[in-house]
Amino acid sequence: MGLWEGLYGLLMRRNSVYVTFVIAGAFVGERVVDYGVHKLWESNNVGKRFEDIPVLGTRQSE
């Protein structure tokens, strides 16, 4: 019995297991994509973000 046949037998044995696997996979996949896009956005905008500009939010003394 191959790897794919074993996984198929494990996941498709009952409908409740299959549905749980699909929902958990969607949740984990969404978190991974969100993390990756967030890191990509941060690396492309270094120095342009509000947190990176030290003079914002402070008053200059006269």
Condensed to tens digits (0 to 9), the pLDDT of residues 21-46 reads 999 999 999 999 999 999 999 999 98
Note whether residue 54 is domain-resident.
Answer: no
57 vs 20, residue with greater confidence: 20
| Residue 27 token pair | 């949740």
pLDDT higher than threshold 60 for residue 57: no
Note whether residue 12 is domain-resident.
Answer: yes
pLDDT for 51: 76
Note whether residue 11 is domain-resident.
Answer: yes
pLDDT higher than threshold 90 for residue 13: no
Note whether residue 27 is domain-resident.
Answer: yes
pLDDT grade for 4, boundaries at 50, 70 and 90:
confident
Full residue range of the structural domain in which residue 12 is found? 3-49
Q: Please state the domain count of the chain.
A: 1
Cα separations (Å) of 31 from 24, 26, 36, 37?
Answer: 11, 9, 9, 10
